[in-house]
Amino acid sequence: MNDTLPTLNRRRARALFGDDTGAATAEYAITTMAAVVGKGILCQDGAMPSADIHAPRVAIYARQSVDEDQGIAQQLDDCRAEVQRRGWRVVSEHQDNDTSASKERGPKTAWSAMLKAFDAGVFDTMIVTETSRITRSLVDVLDIRPPRRNIRVVVIREGIDTELDDFMLKQLVLLAEREVRIKTERAARYAVGRRLAGHPTPGKPPHGYSWVPSIERDSAGTRYRVNDAEAADVRQIFREFLAGAPLAQIARDLSEANRLTRRGVRWQSTTVRRVLLNPLYAALLPPAQPTGEFDATAIDLEACTPGAWEPIIEREQIVASRGRLIGVRPNHSGTARKWLLSGLAVCAICSRSVRSASGETHPTARKGGGGAAPSRRYHAYRCPNGHFMRNGDIIDQYVSEVCIARLAEKDAADLVAPRSESIDVAMLNSTREALKRRRQSIASFVARGLMTDTDADESLMSIAGELQTIDDQIARAVLNDPLAELALVDDVRAWWDAATLARRRLLVETLMVVRIHPVGHGKRVTTIDGAAESVTLEWTKR
């Protein structure tokens, strides 16, 4: 027969719809005929393929991890050609684009729909191009093979047909599963190294930064580049918030100036708040959180890694903004900076910053028998060049006592004097105490009948307003200088005991440089006096 396929399809269309078929209907019929022929459902002459009526009813499954239509189309074409070659029947096609085979596929995927179709008796055989298109997990294979289901699986390129044996299918999937596990472990090691180097994970950077493609990175591998226009928004947000502006007002000012978010929408209080909580702006890389459970308020700044990119704001600004928004102390359960002097104190010999370490005691045997006492582990500091490793508890105790003693001196307020533009916190505190005494006097006057309730209410309301104003000024000073609050403290030791580790470390860093000396192998320092003899304190503020 010399007729072409379009001619045959037109004849079939006339046979189905009549000679007076409209052009649109005829064209639809021609297109439909071409599609079913291409899938092997009909032969080119329009007849059913010469196959046994008991031929397998086939479901074609195509999958790939990236969103690329061409790859799916090629898989479908290969499977259709194989079905036609075998003389089988295609009853359904299932496509999972941009879907991983190493992760669980949810109820909305084509994989799940295909399993439901089998359970409903729609098909009995599944055909794929490669084993990896089905899955990279043995769990999924067990989902389609006995005893759960008895789907016949045909894999074109590996020559697998489970009607004969599914041993090879399971072996190939096990190998794929092993490959996934190896890649995952390798990626985890790379992620650890990347984090230690201060590099963020790939993805959309926060407002204020642009992602640097690998081909454009500098020798340090910097991933974030400051976007000047967006960075101006970020700086304004922090500047206005720390000056006392409400979140809604900050958002409104940005939007009215036509400075929109990266998505091109107006700023909202929630988006401003996310900026103010994000440590990335201070070049601090937060610890990873479980997928789908990110909580910006749960980030511990002490557990953050210094980032390998340019900060837009200062660390003090993110500390202050988070403190105002969260209103709770940081949780110091992270692995970074668990001790007072790690990274702050230096070796007296090489001037390298000391590191925290874990030591272990080695008790000798008891006199009179009974064996040695059990060994125990202790916190230590060590020089990275190996000049010493010393018990850290007694050194921390010594430095703490020196700080407390210095802050208890009469001129300690000078150590935390407000910065150049700042507020006289000591004067504000004196005024605050005077207002509190006035408030107490009013209560006494009322109790003694020397003042009416109405007059007392007016006076108390006036005092409350003045106290609120002073508290706001003191809070602003604390935000500008995190140590300014010390001007309010009467009991320095109580303040030190209640202070967070970050606040103590900030104070030590502000007041002094701590130099730790070696004491000789086997010698133990167990007293404050011994620590004073082997630790030098160089005051930067005295």
The tokens describing 238, both together, are 């922090």
Residue 220 buriedness (CB in 10 A; 0-12 / 13-18 / 19+): exposed
3-state helix, strand, coil in the chain (%, to 5): 50, 10, 40
* Phi-psi category of residue 283: left, alpha or beta, with phi > 0 → left and psi -120 to 50 → alpha: left
> Could you count the other beta carbons within 10 Å of the beta carbon of residue 7?
12
User: Worst-scoring range by mean pLDDT, 202-216, 243-257, 262-276?
Assistant: 243-257
Contact indicator for 484, 477 with CB cutoff of 8 Å:
yes
DSSP string, 424-478: -HHHHHHHHHHHHHHHHHHHHHHHTTSS-HHHHHHHHHHHHHHHHHHHHHHHHHH
Q: Which pLDDT band, with edges at 50, 70 and 90, does 105 fall under?
A: confident
pLDDT at residue 401 is higher than 90 = yes
Question: Count H helices, E strands: the chain?
Answer: 17, 15
Q: Looking at residues 165-180, what average pLDDT do you find?
A: 66
Mean predicted lDDT score pLDDT of the chain? 76
Q: Which pLDDT band, with edges at 50, 70 and 90, does 4 fall under?
A: very low
The tokens describing 261, both together, are 């978010």
| Domain 51-176 class in CATH | alpha beta
pLDDT in tens, 434-485: 887 887 788 777 777 777 877 777 777 777 777 667 666 655 665 555 566 6
Question: 209-326 belongs to which homologous superfamily?
Answer: Putative Large Serine Recombinase; Chain B, Domain 2 (3.90.1750.20)
Q: H helices within 257-304, ranges in order?
A: 269-277
pTM of the full structure:
0.37
- Name the E strands within 261-339: 284-285, 305-306
Coil, strand or helix at 341 = coil
Distance of CA 515 to the CA centre of its chain: 36
Contact indicator for 320, 243 with CB cutoff of 8 Å:
no
Taking the C-alpha atoms of residue 511 and residue 493, their distance in angstroms, rounded to an integer, is 17
pLDDT in tens, 126-165: 999 988 787 666 667 777 787 788 888 888 988 888 877 6
Q: Which of residues 382 and 482 earns the better pLDDT score?
A: 382
Taking the C-alpha atoms of residue 354 and residue 435, their distance in angstroms, rounded to an integer, is 47
Q: Looking at residues 357-382, what average pLDDT do you find?
A: 68
Task: Please state the φ and ψ torsions of residue 144, each to the nearest 5 degrees.
Answer: -115, -5
Cα angle 68, 74, 78 (rounded to 5 degrees) comes to 155
pLDDT at residue 52 is higher than 60 = no
User: Worst-scoring range by mean pLDDT, 59-68, 137-146, 396-405?
Assistant: 137-146
pLDDT in tens, 489-501: 778 888 888 776 6
Q: Within 13 Å, how many C-alpha atoms sit on residue 31's CB side?
A: 6
Taking the C-alpha atoms of residue 64 and residue 481, their distance in angstroms, rounded to an integer, is 55
Contact indicator for 381, 531 with CB cutoff of 8 Å:
no
Taking the C-alpha atoms of residue 288 and residue 473, their distance in angstroms, rounded to an integer, is 37
Q: Within 13 Å, how many C-alpha atoms sit on residue 271's CB side?
A: 19
Contact indicator for 350, 517 with CB cutoff of 8 Å:
no
Q: How far is CA 522 from CA 49, 357, 367, 373, in A?
A: 90, 17, 20, 18
Task: Please state the φ and ψ torsions of residue 203, each to the nearest 5 degrees.
Answer: 145, -175
Q: Looking at residues 416-428, what average pLDDT do you find?
A: 60
Token pair 């080119």 is found at 44
Q: Which sequence spans correspond to the domains of the chain? A: 51-176, 209-326, 339-362+376-416+491-542, 419-480
Contact indicator for 65, 101 with CB cutoff of 8 Å:
yes
- Highest-pLDDT range among 9-18, 63-72, 91-100, 431-440: 91-100
Angle between helices 228-242 and 315-326 (to 10 degrees): 50
- The answer to whether the bond into 147 is cis (omega within 30° of 0) is yes
- According to DSSP, residue 171 is labeled H
Q: Which of residues 324 and 204 earns the better pLDDT score?
A: 204
